[in-house]
Structures are given as C-alpha cells and as structure tokens.
Copies of this chain bind each other. A is one copy, B any other.
Amino acid sequence: MSVNDVRVAIDAGGQSTKGARTRLRILDAAARVLREKGYAATRLSDIAEVAGLQTGSLAFHFRSKNELIDEVLRHGMTAGLAGVRRSVDRLGPDATPAVRIEAAVHAHLDGLAARNDYAPAVLRLVDQLPADTRRRFRPTERAYIGYWRDLLTAAREAGELPADLDTALLTRLLLGAMNANLGRADAGPRGRLSTAILFMIGLRGNGASQE
C-alpha cells in the first residue's frame, strides 16, 4: 500500500543479484538523504554512508550524482501516480467520482506520510532542481496533475461538483493544500485531515465535521 512497495516492479528485470540489491539500497539511501537535506546539501558521501559503502563505490552503480537523483525522481513520481491509481482502481467501475476522489486523497496523503521517503523527496526536490532536470520531469508532473484534474472533471460531470467549476484551478489548490501536510500526514487522526481536504473542494456529503 505504501509508495515504496512498487519499488521492485520498477527496477529493471527484478533479478536479485547482489549488484541489483546494492543498487536498490543506494536508491533508498538517496531518497532518505534527499528528503532530509534537499538537493544541493546532499553529498554523495552522505548517501554512501547510509547505504554502508564508501563514496567511490557508488560510481560502479551510478555514473554520476545526477543520474542517481534522476532515478530517485523517476521512481518517486512513477510510484506516486501508480499508488494513487491503484487505490482508485481498487474501487471498481461502479464507484462514484466523489468516492474515487476520496480514495485518491487518502492515497496521496499516505504517500506523504513520514514512513515514506520517495514521494516526500520528490516534493522537496522539484523546486530545487537545475532547470534542465526540471524540464525533463515536467511531463511526468503534468501527468500526475492531469490525473487529478480528470477525477475532478468526472465529479463535475456527475453533478457532484458545481457545473461552472474551474477544475484546473481547483486541482492546483487541492494539491497545494494536501502537500502543505508534508511530514505531518500522521499528525492527528487521518480522517480529520482528509475530511477537511474533501470539505475544501466542496465534497461535504460524507458527514464532514465542518458542516
């Protein structure tokens, strides 16, 4: 259920050679350090230490620091969208748009929870990336945003949200509100946070505490 669970599926091949396992250990270490320190403040030596290797040894698995960070980003974004999509799909085809959104909100907040590293790392890194890296990941970012906008649009078309709603705008506000809880997704009862979020976007049919 956690974002990290898809890790193996993403790793090319999925063999468990020693090299492949070390590679994953390095990626996990990188995600953790990047999440804690941010892009520039992360030294290869920090990552190596967490992974239990010497700094120079990283080069055997990743050509450069940027290549390693790229991999963390790619992994985090792909896993994030996959996690949300999985939660929504699990509901089956008969679920109403509002229920789908609720599931998506839960999944997104879960991805931001303290125990995960990849999604928080991605979120922290986006605004710190060199321009070219940032550009390379724009499409993936847009795909994520687009998925949410489609959820909202479907709700609007089902009459669960106002007909004149600007779904692009509300998507941005919604993601902004959710991401403001980075590192706190576990603080306080889960239900309260997601209830507040759903309330904010106008879905207050489920007994929202504010109405």
Residues of B within 8 Å of A179, CB to CB, are: 176, 180
B166 A173 Cβ-Cβ under 8 A: no
B173 A180 Cβ-Cβ under 8 A: yes
CA distance A188 to B172 in the complex (A): 14
B130 A127 Cβ-Cβ under 8 A: no
Q: Hey, what's the 0/1 contact readout for A165-177 against B, CB within 8 Å counting as 1? A: 1100110111111
Residues of B within 8 Å of A188, CB to CB, are: 169
* A94 close to chain B: CB less than 8 A: no
Nearest Cβ on chain B to A198's Cβ, whole angstroms: 11
| Closest B residue by C-beta to A209 | B164
Nearest Cβ on chain B to A94's Cβ, whole angstroms: 27
Stretch at the interface among A2-10, A34-42, A100-108: A34-42
B180 A210 Cβ-Cβ under 8 A: no
Nearest Cβ on chain B to A134's Cβ, whole angstroms: 10
Residues of B within 8 Å of A176, CB to CB, are: 176-181
* A193 close to chain B: CB less than 8 A: yes
B127 A165 Cβ-Cβ under 8 A: no
* A50 close to chain B: CB less than 8 A: no
* A197 close to chain B: CB less than 8 A: yes
* A25 close to chain B: CB less than 8 A: no
**Other contacts beyond A128-B128, A162-B210, A174-B177: 6, CB < 8 A:** A40-B40, A41-B128, A161-B210, A164-B209, A175-B180, A176-B180
Sampled A-B contacts (18; CB under 8 Å): A38-B127, A39-B40, A124-B127, A127-B127, A127-B128, A162-B210, A162-B211, A164-B209, A166-B192, A166-B196, A169-B196, A173-B180, A174-B177, A176-B176, A176-B178, A176-B180, A177-B200, A202-B210
| A contact set with B: CB distance below 8 Å | 38-41, 124, 127-128, 130, 161-162, 164-166, 169-170, 172-181, 184, 188, 192-193, 196-197, 199-202, 209-211
